[in-house]
Structure 1
């Protein structure tokens, strides 16, 4: 124990072991580890007692990068706007097909629908980054 009463070594939980095991399996799947190394490390993972021993098993592997959501259409309001624009575009195309007019007149409304979705996505991404309009 250290001076604060916290143990100097923390015991590993099952969730810690599973996290490290998935990292090792992913590294084996990528070809960073041989099959024997994967088997040895997985055997060691499930027999460890402390978290510092788990950290040593993945110290030579690259750190996993978290997956990011797409920024452009990430906000639910933008996705709803996009869905409405797609439905309206389909309805415009169906109406054009039924009308029998040779000129593709839905092009202009579809263009403005697309522009409205892109502007909406741009505004939402600007507010997400903190560059929105300041209200006094």
Structure 2
């Protein structure tokens, strides 16, 4: 919610953000149920940012979101992971068909299937934990 222009009309999403903040404050015991109910009614009746300001002025600021340590997959990395998973699935299907039509009574594909799955999971984890290349003109430590 922007306080730069307190007379601008607010959106439903901004109202909902403040309503969630009030619900959280009530759940933490910072507001009584009656206070929370009154403020909730005022939130949904609010039309401008100035109407919302006093409803949360005495509440602590919401905690900052924790940044994710995982990097988003680039389209190229996603393609490589899908190729890896596809090849692994093809081999898994081949092993299962071979086991079904073969004479061996025990489930021998369990070992290869485990390692195929482990390799796909390791590939995903390795790809998402890698540091992204830095912007041009800066140095990055690896």
Structure 2 stretches of 5 or more lacking a match?
135-139
Q: Does 1:13 align with 2:16?
A: no
Question: In structure 1, how many angstroms separate the alpha carbons of the residues matched to 2:83 and 2:60?
Answer: 41
Q: Which residue does 1:3 correspond to in 2?
A: none
Instruction: Flag the 1:107–1:54 CA change in 2: closer, same or farther, 3 A.
Output: same
Q: CA RMSD in A?
A: 4.2
Q: Distance in 2 between matches of 1:125 and 1:26?
A: 32
Closer, same or farther: CA 61–99 of 1 in aligned 2, 3 Å: farther
Q: 1:118 aligns with which of 88, 101, 121?
A: 121
Secondary structure of residue in 2 paired with 1:13: coil
> What is the TM-score of this pair, normalised by structure 2?
0.53
Aligned equivalents of 1:87, 1:66: Cα separation in 2: 40
Structure 1: give runs of 5+ residues left out of the alignment.
1-6
- With structure 1 as the length reference, what TM-score do the two structures score? 0.55
Q: Which digits, 9 at most, give the CA deviation of each residue in 1:46-87, with x for residues without a partner?
A: 344542552442351562665988949x74444674476457
